[in-house]
Amino acid sequence: MFSDREYLSTLVKIGLPIAIQNFITSSLNAFGVLLVGQLGETQVAAVGLANQVFFLLNLMLFGIISGSAIFTAQFWGSQDLPGIRKVVGLSLGLSLGAGALFTVVALALPKAALGLYTSDPQVIELGSQYLEIIGLSYLATAVSFTFGMHLRATGSVRIPMLVSAGALGLGTILSYFLIFGALGLPAMGVRGAALGACLARLLECGVLLAVTYLGRLPTAVYLSDLRSLTGSFVRRFLATVLPVTANETAWSFGVTIYSVVYAHIGTQAIAAINIVSTIEGLVTVVFLGISNASAIMIGNKIGAGQEHKAYLYARRSLVLGVGLGVLAGLLLILLAEPILSFYNIGPDAAESARRILLVLGCVLWVRVSNMTLIIGILRSGGDTHFSLVLDVGTVWLVGIPMALLGAFVFQLPVYWVYAMVMADDLVKAIGGLYRFLSRKWINNLARDMV
């Protein structure tokens, strides 16, 4: 691994900006939760549950766009620019459809959506106030996701990083002023957090579109690029993308059931889970960088007809991810107490969060290896059907039954339920490793589309 300068230099060149972007995004999200946390446990729970709607949209978009980016990475490896623009156009259409659906839910049915998670009337009321504002940004988010991920698949990783970091940084500052009231602005509480985030996403979308089209980047798609689309191209595209979309959608609904189970345990439980999820987002930025960079690198090599090198890169990324996962888990266990001291929550929620962090630290290396296996390796080779069965099957057949048993049958505390859910990741890792070693995941989609 360390003697292969091409692998390491390419991984750093692509993965570092992605990791930095994810770190900035996760840091600002964590800071936003910290700001809302100063208002109390109920506000943290309300924003956390409201963001479950965005979580569902986020994963549906990720499924559509990451499935599409498999083609973009391989077309970039074969230098097929018309193919890239066709893929971006199809991806954008599907993403806007998903964004429109969730916009309707957030604006027209916020209380009904939150009522699926909790019966606490105060949490539902505050969460609805948040949703009615943040929902205005969902279409812009769909556009930003589409162009940002396809730009990264062509190796342009700095542009999405800089645009996203700048917009979200400005949005976080604005959220602070709007939550607590400063510089003559009203103190809007939860509404202020939503408005700041909404304005940031709208700004991100506008700047990213301007940079893409003014710079005539490879992903700048026009209607004229779509006139040469053929039925066979669209069918092959959908045959690969739809399993990834179904994967992320079904997986996200499974994770939503986890949130329903945690919310059933109590408001302090969902507050603890929300805080831990935010911290996990910060910890896993490096691994998101590795897995996304690996997907691009492996896809480029497969598209260029270098299947052996693609497998070699995949193996190195997997080993690197597991090793770093062990180290990150140990740090998480050691720093659990000082991290939680920043949150203004009650002793029960703090103790639950601490114990959940200990569980996460022990199994983090398994979780990040799954991230690399599925996102970085199997999908980049076009093995989307197996990824669908593996990822969704373990959630619904292992994770959800364990969560229901722990909460409703054994009536365990939230940290024990969380530990039982981790069985999902253990089973997934075994299946993913077996598939990786078989090499059946390597498929040259760029060649097949010709």
SS3 382: coil
Task: Convert the pLDDT of each residue in 262-285 to its tens digit.
Answer: 888 887 888 888 788 878 877 888
- The closest of 303, 232, 243 to 86, measured between CA atoms, is 232
Q: What are the structure tokens assigned to 52, written together?
A: 């479950």
Residue 407: partners with Cβ closer than 8 Å, 6 or more residues away: 261, 262, 264, 265, 417
Q: How far is CA 70 from CA 10, 13, 157, 246, 408, in A?
A: 18, 19, 16, 16, 41
Distance of alpha carbon 409 from alpha carbon 426, whole angstroms: 22
Q: What is the mean pLDDT of the segment spanning 2-14?
A: 79
Given this model, what pLDDT does residue 356 score?
Answer: 92
Distance of alpha carbon 70 from alpha carbon 180, whole angstroms: 44
Tell me the pTM: 0.72
Percent of the chain surpassing pLDDT 70 = 94
Given this model, what pLDDT does residue 186 score?
Answer: 74
Given this model, what pLDDT does residue 387 score?
Answer: 87
From the CA atom positions of the chain, what is the Rg in Å? 21
Q: What is the DSSP letter of 115?
A: H
Q: How confident is the model at residue 355 (pLDDT cuts 50, 70, 90)?
A: very high
Given this model, what pLDDT does residue 343 score?
Answer: 74
Given this model, what pLDDT does residue 402 score?
Answer: 95
Residue 416 has pLDDT above 90, yes or no: yes
Count the neighbouring beta carbons within 10 Å of the beta carbon of residue 271.
33
Cα atoms found within 13 Å of the Cα of residue 344, Cβ hemisphere only: 12
The full set of domain ranges for the chain reads: 5-448
Distance of alpha carbon 212 from alpha carbon 210, whole angstroms: 6
Residue 431 has pLDDT above 60, yes or no: yes
Given this model, what pLDDT does residue 46 score?
Answer: 77
SS3 81: helix
Is the separation of the CB atoms in 198 and 190 below 8 Å?
no
